[in-house]
């Protein structure tokens, strides 16, 4: 294999609907780039080895731990962070509002990651059972909520989007 | 008047957190910061003979390497306790910024300051540390033996502290004929807080002072500790606490703020950031004390407790941190929870070569309840009495007063909580149904109660200060030294302020950040004290502010103060209820008056010389797969009496989180160490089994509301109590299912395999 010493590389991608480019250290994680170069404060660092889910972002609609995804791999991708969910006048999306209303947020550190996985779940348009939702959300760790109100928030929004009554 | 207290209003910080805009430590740090990384010891015990820094210093981007030979020769305490001006009650000062005598695998040996993280990490790896190794000890009772490795020079047999309780005459009483003796040993594990934001901080110098922005629960205490550790006047230190991603007691300690501050002073006051990795957080911050407890009870066949003995051995790890306070709290609960005339209790806190144990949600009570409540069910099994009836007979009765704290049980809390829980779980029916099961899969129900007291009076200072500043529009800002750490105190406080001042909740603006330069003194978030203690200073300050507002209203309206009130942000004439003017108009006129301009503010300190019991219970239902040695939690119900609920939705959420922690404590979490090296084996979130979304049943939380008479708002502890009784309830449910009394947690398949084999339920 050819040995080369390129340390910086330009990466072009779409961030929250806008085409952007940055020259980054090839060793940098997507977390690093989003936090340091784009000041996306919703992308949190909890372990930096893909265990806790706090740095979760959507890449082409799929949830990824951005801490173990190299920044340069974002080339040509559509990356969404929590910042991209907000309406033009600061309106919360339905899932953010549900997290607020269901008291699913405490310290707030895991919340952005959870909300983005919830977006992936909701955008599938499918109806899931509680057990399925628990499994789909299990890539995120939370020490404050016991996950209970997070489940309520996701479930409530899922049924709302499906136009169905929330089962008792 | 619209009341805010008692309503499930939305968290005041919910929008900021739901949008990712809320700023935590790292969000506030300028990207120009130098990065500090710590070189941790790779032996469990010994002396650093030398550190060769040459290769590290040669790494491009390295600015400075500091070793234990450079650190100031100052030992300092780290516990997040209020300082005591009495030298006999001060926290133990037993660590330096960097240590030549390393006492656990992960101790701080050196620190590298570099231009970026990669250079700092490379340089740490390039350090060559030469050690003189010493024998080490991990087990608490081994450490107490003569000839055990001496970990701290001052502690003979490694005993940091011993305390006892004596009531009546245990030795004579236990000789009564016909008594049944029940004896057990109970072990609880080393666990970690696992807040999702690791601890971190950054420091810089400004105008000859050092400023530290830190993920901490206790900014004013950290200020004092940084001053002590660096040997500089406390006024030269400024601590700023932004939003933090959880704390649970780990951040109720000075962690790396002193080291980070020192690093900044060693590079000319430049901005230095020190962030812990998850692996460092597990080992080199604080952990929960592993406590081994030995209990003997002498009981009459009718369930009367005649004589009881308790010995508790608390594994402190390498440094004192919160020290003996933890096991002492648990020990003191023992004779109170089940009053018995003849009691002997002894507790020891012992240094070992493990990570330092400090405060963690429950502060000794989860350990004490695992031992104590497991033991109660062991008694019930021995005398064939129902665990529910035994508790009804023996638990602390209404009207009980503790002589030391003067705490009183005003209501029939235990029975009310148990009644509610047993109904929710259909406990009685299931308890009978699950007797004498056979077959490989069995179900069981179990219960446990808990003892907890709010805040720290009379052991330590309890005071809180509050400042309120009125704006031109009739809204106000308020500040306290008690901190928002995720538990929701900013919201509960805002509700309290709105009601006490007499303005709408929307006109109350909390200053969430604590900055020791501008926030009134308060010791922070711990001991589940915030709503209780903060309530006093909020009420007192609100009354002072109202007095000033009504005095101005008198001047502006000519009405006597006795006929004026402030209701919902309006100045009202009491006699006919007429609104005379809005608070906004009053405040604007007051501020800009050419005759008597006044900025209406109030600030007071409340010293609190009371404390309050906060009790409740957990009921669990489990399914045990005997051949697979696996216990699955089917249901968990917690019922709490924390007095009047300030915000029911947030209270429920708080209980869920504590229950989750209790489930992990009962079933899966344990930080393990290699017996041969003392090295931690699972200090990451993959191998340390923190409960995930899939490890919980639906969490059921309920309340009994008996207003606490000593609190201005009728409230008392709720932050920690939910973590206290879940694990023993699960353990007792397994006992109900299988007849096997488990003696340790977490109750993993390894533990069940050992116990089921002993009981003859399985063969090899």
> A94-161 belongs to which CATH class?
mainly alpha
Q: Are residues B222 and B104 in the same domain?
A: yes
Coil/strand/helix, residue B168: coil
Q: Which residues, at least 6 apart from B747, have a Cβ–Cβ distance to it below 8 Å?
A: B631, B666, B667, B730, B731, B734
Mean pLDDT taken over chain A = 96
Residue of B22, B193, B656 lying closest to A108 (CB–CB): B22
Q: pLDDT tens digits for B390-414?
A: 999 999 999 999 999 999 999 999 9
Is B220 among the domain residues? yes
Q: What's the rounded mean pLDDT across residues B42-57?
A: 98
- Distance CA(B572)–CA(B678), nearest Å, equals 69
Q: Is the pLDDT of residue B143 over 50?
A: yes
Among residues B220, B240, B275, which one ends one of the domains? Answer: B275
Six-digit token string for A25? 């250290």
Close Cβ partners of B20 (under 8 Å, ≥ 6 residues apart): A40, A41, A42, A43, A81, A82, A83, A111, A112
What is the band of A5 on the pLDDT scale with cuts at 50, 70, 90?
low
Closest CA–CA distance from residue B412 to any residue of chain A (Å): 29
Same domain for B639 and B743, yes or no, is yes
d(CA B305, CA B335): 11
Smallest CA-to-CA distance from B324 within B301, B349, B355 is with: B349
Per-residue pLDDT averaged across B204-211, rounded? 98
ipTM over 0.85: yes
The C-alpha atoms of residue A7 and residue B670 are separated, in whole angstroms, by 41
Segments forming the whole domain that contains residue B602 = 463-607
In a domain, B363, yes or no: no
The domain that contains B443 carries what CATH number? 3.30.365.10
**Is residue B547 in some structural domain?**
yes
The β-bridge partners of B290 are: B315
pLDDT value of position A1: 44
Helices (H) and strands (E) in chain A, counts: 5, 5
Instruction: Dig out the tokens for B8 from the structure.
Output: 């499930």
pTM for the model: 0.97
Q: Does B28 touch chain A (CB under 8 A)?
A: no
Q: Give pLDDT, residue B2.
A: 61
Average pLDDT on B574-603 reads 97
Name which of A82, A107, A146 is nearest B699 (Cβ-Cβ).
A146
**Same-domain pairing of B394 and B270:** no
B31 to chain A, closest Cα gap in Å: 7
Cis peptide leading into residue B458 (ω within 30°): yes
CATH number of the domain enclosing B116: 3.90.1170.50
pLDDT in tens, B56-67: 999 999 999 999
Chain segment B2-34, per-residue pLDDT in tens? 699 999 999 999 999 999 999 999 999 999 999
Substitution target from B27, B118, B483, B693 for chain A, most A beta carbons within 10 A: B693
Query: Given a cut of 50, is residue B207 above it in pLDDT?
Result: yes
Assign B734 a pLDDT band (cuts: 50, 70, 90): very high
Domain with CATH 3.10.20.30 in chain A: 8-82
Number of domains forming the structure of chain B: 3
What the block records as the tokens of B473 is 């529009």
CATH architecture of A8-82: Roll (3.10)
> Which tens digits make up the pLDDT trace of B366-383?
999 999 999 999 999 999
Give residue-wise pLDDT tens across range A73-111.
999 999 999 999 999 999 999 999 999 999 999 999 999
Q: Are residues B683 and B582 in the same domain?
A: no
Tell whether B648 and B536 lie within a shared domain: no
B399 shares its domain with B250: no
* pLDDT attached to residue B763: 87
Cis peptide bond prior to B746, omega within 30° of 0: yes
CA distance B247 to B18: 19
Interface list for B 256-275 with A (CB within 8 A): 275
- B130 and B264 both lie in a single domain: yes
Flag whether pLDDT at B271 surpasses 60: yes
Same domain, B71 and B207: yes
Count A/B contacts: CB-CB distance under 8 Å.
169
The answer on B391 and B470 residing in a single domain is no
| Mutation target vs B (from A32, A49, A105, A119; most B CBs, 10 A cutoff) | A105
| Residue B471, domain member (yes or no) | yes
Q: What is the mean pLDDT of chain B?
A: 97
Residue B185 lies in a domain: no
- pLDDT > 70: percent of chain B: 100
Closest CA to B64 of B115, B13, B128: B115
In-domain check, residue B595: yes
Residues B624 and B719 in one domain: yes
pLDDT of A3:
55
């Amino acid at each position: 294999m050819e040995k080369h010493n390129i340390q910086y590389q330009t990466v072009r991608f779409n961030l929250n609907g806008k085409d952007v480019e940055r020259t980054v250290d090839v060793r940098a994680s997507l977390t690093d780039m989003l936090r340091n170069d784009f000041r996306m404060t919703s992308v949190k660092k909890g372990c930096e080895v893909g265990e806790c889910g706090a740095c979760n972002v959507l890449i082409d609609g799929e949830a990824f731990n951005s801490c173990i995804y190299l920044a340069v791999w974002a080339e040509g991708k559509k990356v969404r962070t929590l910042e991209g969910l907000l309406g033009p006048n600061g309106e919360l999306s339905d899932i953010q509002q549900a997290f607020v209303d269901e008291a699913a947020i405490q310290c707030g550190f895991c919340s952005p990651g959870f909300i983005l996985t919830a977006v992936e779940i909701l955008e599938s348009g499918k109806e899931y059972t509680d057990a399925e939702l628990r499994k789909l959300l299990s890539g995120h760790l939370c020490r404050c909520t016991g996950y209970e109100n997070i489940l309520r928030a996701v479930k409530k929004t899922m049924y709302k989007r499906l136009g169905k009554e929330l089962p008792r | 008047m619209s009341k805010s207290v008692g309503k499930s209003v939305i968290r005041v910080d919910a929008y900021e957190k739901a949008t990712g805009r809320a700023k935590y430590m790292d969000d506030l740090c300028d990207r120009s910061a130098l990065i500090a990384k710590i070189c941790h010891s790779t032996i469990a015990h010994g002396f650093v003979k030398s550190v060769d820094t040459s290769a590290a210093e040669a790494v491009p981007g390295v600015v400075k390497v500091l070793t234990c030979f450079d650190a100031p020769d100052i030992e300092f305490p780290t516990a997040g306790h209020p300082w005591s001006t009495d030298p006999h009650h001060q926290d133990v000062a037993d660590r330096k910024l960097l240590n030549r005598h390393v006492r656990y695998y992960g101790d701080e040996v050196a620190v590298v300051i570099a231009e970026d993280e990669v250079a700092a990490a490379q340089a740490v790896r390039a350090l060559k540390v030469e050690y003189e190794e010493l024998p080490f000890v991990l087990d608490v009772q081994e450490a107490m033996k003569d000839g055990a490795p001496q970990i701290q020079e001052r502690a003979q047999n490694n005993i940091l502290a011993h305390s006892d309780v004596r009531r009546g005459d245990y030795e004579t009483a236990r000789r009564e004929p016909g008594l049944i003796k029940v004896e057990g040993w109970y072990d609880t594990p080393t666990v970690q807080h696992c807040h999702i934001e690791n601890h971190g901080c950054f420091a810089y110098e400004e105008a000859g002072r050092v400023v530290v922005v830190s993920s901490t629960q206790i900014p004013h205490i950290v200020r004092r500790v940084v001053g002590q550790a660096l040997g500089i006047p406390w006024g030269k230190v400024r601590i700023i606490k932004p939003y933090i991603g959880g704390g649970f007691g780990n951040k109720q300690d000075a962690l790396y703020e002193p080291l980070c501050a020192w690093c900044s002073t060693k590079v000319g006051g430049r901005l230095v950031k020190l962030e812990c990795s998850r692996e460092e957080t597990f080992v080199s911050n604080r952990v929960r004390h592993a406590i081994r407890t030995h209990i003997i009870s002498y009981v009459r066949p009718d369930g009367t407790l005649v004589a009881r003995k308790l010995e508790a051995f608390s594994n402190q790890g390498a440094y004192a941190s919160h020290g003996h306070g933890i096991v002492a709290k648990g020990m003191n609960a023992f004779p109170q929870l089940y009053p018995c005339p003849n009691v002997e209790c002894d507790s020891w806190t012992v240094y070992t070569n493990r990570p330092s144990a400090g405060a963690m949600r429950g502060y000794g009570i989860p350990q004490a309840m695992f031992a104590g409540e497991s033991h109660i069910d062991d008694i019930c099994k021995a005398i064939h009495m129902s665990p529910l009836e035994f508790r009804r007979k023996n638990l602390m009765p209404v009207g009980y007063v503790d002589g030391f704290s003067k705490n009183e049980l005003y209501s029939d809390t235990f029975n009310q909580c148990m009644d509610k829980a047993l109904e929710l779980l259909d406990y009685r029916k299931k308890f009978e149904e699950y007797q004498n099961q056979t077959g490989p899969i069995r179900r069981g129900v179990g219960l446990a109660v808990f003892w907890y007291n709010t805040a720290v009076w009379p052991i330590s200072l309890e005071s809180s200060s509050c400042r309120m500043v009125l704006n031109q529009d009739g809204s106000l800002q308020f500040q306290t030294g008690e901190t928002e750490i995720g538990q929701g105190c900013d919201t509960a406080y805002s509700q309290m302020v709105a009601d006490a001042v007499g303005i709408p909740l929307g006109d109350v603006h909390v200053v969430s950040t604590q900055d020791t330069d501008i926030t009134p003194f308060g010791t922070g978030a711990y001991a589940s004290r915030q709503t209780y203690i903060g309530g006093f200073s909020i009420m007192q300050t609100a009354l002072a502010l109202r007095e000033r507002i009504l005095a101005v209203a008198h001047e502006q309206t000519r009405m006597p103060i006795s006929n004026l009130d402030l209701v919902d942000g309006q100045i009202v004439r009491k006699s006919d209820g007429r609104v005379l003017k809005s608070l906004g108009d009053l405040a604007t006129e007051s501020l800009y008056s050419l005759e008597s301009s006044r900025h209406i503010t109030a600030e007071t300190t409340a010293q609190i010389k009371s404390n309050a019991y906060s009790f409740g219970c957990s009921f669990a239902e489990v399914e045990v797969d005997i051949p697979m040695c696996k216990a699955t939690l089917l249901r968990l119900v917690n019922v709490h009496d924390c007095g009047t609920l300030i915000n029911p939705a947030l209270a429920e959420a708080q209980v869920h989180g504590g229950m989750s922690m209790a489930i992990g404590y009962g079933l899966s979490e344990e930080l393990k160490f290699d017996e041969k090296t003392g090295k931690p084996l699972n200090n990451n979130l993959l191998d340390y089994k923190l409960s995930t979304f899939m490890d919980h049943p639906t969490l059921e939380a309920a309340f009994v509301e008996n207003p606490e008479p000593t609190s201005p708002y009728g409230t008392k502890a709720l932050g920690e109590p939910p973590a206290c009784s879940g694990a023993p309830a699960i353990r007792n449910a397994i006992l109900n299912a299988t007849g096997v009394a488990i003696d340790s947690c977490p109750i993993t398949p390894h533990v069940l395999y050992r116990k089921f084999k002993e009981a003859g339920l399985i063969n090899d």
